[in-house]
């Protein structure tokens, strides 16, 4: 396999895109228009309604911190006569812009933790099994139009702040995670998925 592009995309980045894999080139997409700065390219786009504004196989990695819970699962078409699935569409787009073997790093509040329901703009409730609709030999999302494919590398409950960078936890972080898990205080679920693109 060829080397991955040394380029990362952070979705819903605001004015501070994250770069969990430490890629040389950093890009971000958000609803709001923001000025790019040296080493960081920022674009405005509504990726719920429109494609991610980058070409196929462009990124070695994509991240989504506290983002996918804001993407609706189902919407009506403008004429109200049919429905479509924006979350499925976004997962197709993430897969499209990732190079073969590229990584998706998504961190989101997840059910059954109450953090899922606190923010009124959370409309997509993620569980520890939601990633199965997009990964494995026969992703369940195929029945709703998911065309891509991912391999789950890591899916786990995490301490939010300790999971901003894709690297092994320190002993201190592991102990904090264990204590929070034991007391039922883990709020976020992490997906680290690899884009599978046979024949590319």
pLDDT tens-digit profile of 138-189? 999 999 999 999 999 999 988 765 555 566 667 666 666 656 555 556 788 9
From residue 52, give the alpha-carbon distance in Å to each of 57, 90, 91, 187: 12, 8, 10, 28
Calpha distance 100→1 (Å, rounded): 8
Contact in structure between 11 and 47 (CB atoms under 8 Å): yes
User: DSSP label at 3?
Assistant: P
pTM reported for the whole predicted model: 0.88
Domains of the chain, each with CATH number or no CATH: 7-195 (3.40.50.150)
Which pLDDT score is estimated for 182? 53
Question: Among the listed ranges 34-38, 54-58, 133-137, 188-192, which one has the minimum average pLDDT value?
Answer: 34-38
Percent of the chain surpassing pLDDT 70: 85
Length of the chain: 200
């Amino acid at each position: 396999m060829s080397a991955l592009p040394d380029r990362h995309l952070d979705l819903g980045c605001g004015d501070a895109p994250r770069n969990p894999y430490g890629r040389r080139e950093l890009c971000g997409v958000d609803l709001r228009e923001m000025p790019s700065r040296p080493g960081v390219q920022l674009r405005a786009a509504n990726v719920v309604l429109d494609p991610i504004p980058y070409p196929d196989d462009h990124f070695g990695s994509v991240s989504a911190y506290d983002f996918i819970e804001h993407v609706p699962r189902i919407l009506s078409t403008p004429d109200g006569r049919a429905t479509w699935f924006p979350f499925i569409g976004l997962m197709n787009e993430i897969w499209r812009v990732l190079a073969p073997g590229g990584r998706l790093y998504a961190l989101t509040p997840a059910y059954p933790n109450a953090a899922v329901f606190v923010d009124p703009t959370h409309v997509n409730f993620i569980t520890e099994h939601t990633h199965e609709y997009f990964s494995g030999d026969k992703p369940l999302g195929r029945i709703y139009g998911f065309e891509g494919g991912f391999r789950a590398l890591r899916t786990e409950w995490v301490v939010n702040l300790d999971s901003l960078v894709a690297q092994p936890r320190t002993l201190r972080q592991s102990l904090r995670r264990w204590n929070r898990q034991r007391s039922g205080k883990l709020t976020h679920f992490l997906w680290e998925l690899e884009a599978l693109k046979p024949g590319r």
